[in-house]
A = this chain, B = another copy of it.
Amino acid sequence: MIRAGIIGATGYTGAELVRILYGHPRVEIGFLSSRSFVGEDISSVYPNLKGCVEKICEEQDIDRAVEQCDVIFVALPHGHSVPIVKRALEAGVKVIDLGADFRLKNPSVYEHWYGLEHGAPELLHRAVYGLPEIYGKDISEASVVANPGCYPTSIILGLAPLLKYGVIKTEGIVADSKSGVSGAGRTPSEKTHFVECNESVSAYGVSGHRHRPEIEQELGNLGKTPVRITFTPHLVPITRGILSTIYAELAIDMAEDEIRKLYENFYYQKPFVRILPEGVFPRTRWVYGSNFCDINFYADREAKRITVVSAIDNLVKGASGQAVQNMNLMFGLPEEEGLMVPGLCP
């Protein structure tokens, strides 16, 4: 059994890790820490877990964590991972960071967007960007994985085949993402107040969102050229789910079914990407609670434009499920172990 520790177990992504790992046949949860609920049972903070996982949240004692665990999941806000990652690596314990600290390879880009000097720039290239459908081999050899952001996951998976094979131009890409409110975390605020969210749709971060450089870094790698996109996140009144609608200009004239084949080949034997049949477009409820990313597209050859739609559950494929998928690869397990669960629908 793999012994897993979760630092930050009582935030939404932490609790989702607990839920997913409980269902994983090769994992036992060895350590949970929380800032706000030290000494409380995780099942009193998340009563859905009662009868399934009952374990006390400890203080954030990294020494204890690395001693008791084979892998550490860090589910903290950005700016808090560096000392934990360092300590884990010293101790030979694998670590998966669900925050943003190790995603951007360029420390000055990190500094610009997060307003912090990076605490360990020398580790940035050791950390593998944890998108298994693209970096599967690297992840399987990694000691530290930077788990992608939720928006980037949905957008990069939607565009990867098109950029890899030069089907679209790299200029003028637009990504319009609609996210559920759980993506904003557990801390109450005006923005996440029920009355403010309910019966409302709104755009935010229109002038710049921290996930944009992460998306651009990865699209640039895929397209082998720097990419500048327009990205607008939106808040919609659902708990879970991101739907990204992505617009690009076709670089070559290609028939719909040829493009479909590209997608299917690119995601061949990638169990969590589902290319939907022609004309069936993703709905967030079809991936609710699951690790799937559903994708479809429409190519308008006359207008030389393509529209791609992708859907994920932001807490699963956009965070904790993907982290467990990464763990599977890092420990040589089948990628889908403990994760092959259909969405909860209806």
Q: Which residues of A contact B (CB under 8 A)?
A: 12, 15-16, 19, 22-23, 44, 46-53, 172, 174, 176, 178, 181-182, 186, 188-190, 192-204, 206-207, 228, 230, 232, 234, 236-241, 243, 245, 247, 249, 271-272, 274, 276-277, 279-290, 292, 294, 298, 300, 303, 305, 307, 309, 311, 315, 340-346
* Nearest CB on B from A11, distance (A): 10
A197 to B240 CA separation, bound complex (whole angstroms): 13
* B203 near A284: Cβ-Cβ < 8 Å: no
> Which residues of the other chain, B, contact A200 by a CB distance below 8 angstroms?
238, 241, 283-285
- A281's partner among B192, B197, B206, B307 (CB-CB below 8 A) is B206
> Which residues of the other chain, B, contact A46 by a CB distance below 8 angstroms?
345
Q: Could you say how many copies of this chain the assembly holds?
A: 4
> Which residues of the other chain, B, contact A53 by a CB distance below 8 angstroms?
342
> Which residues of the other chain, B, contact A202 by a CB distance below 8 angstroms?
243, 281-284
A286 to B196 CA separation, bound complex (whole angstroms): 10
* B47 near A276: Cβ-Cβ < 8 Å: yes
Main SS of chain A's interface residues?
loop
Given known A-B contacts A247-B174, A343-B48, A181 and B198 have beta carbons under 8 A apart = yes
* A243 near B274: Cβ-Cβ < 8 Å: no
* A241 near B19: Cβ-Cβ < 8 Å: no
A15 to B327 CA separation, bound complex (whole angstroms): 31
Given known A-B contacts A174-B247, A281-B202, A284-B200, A346 and B195 have beta carbons under 8 A apart = yes
Of the listed residues A199, A249, A282, A309, the one surrounded by the most CB atoms of chain B closer than 10 A to its CB is A199
* Nearest CB on B from A343, distance (A): 4
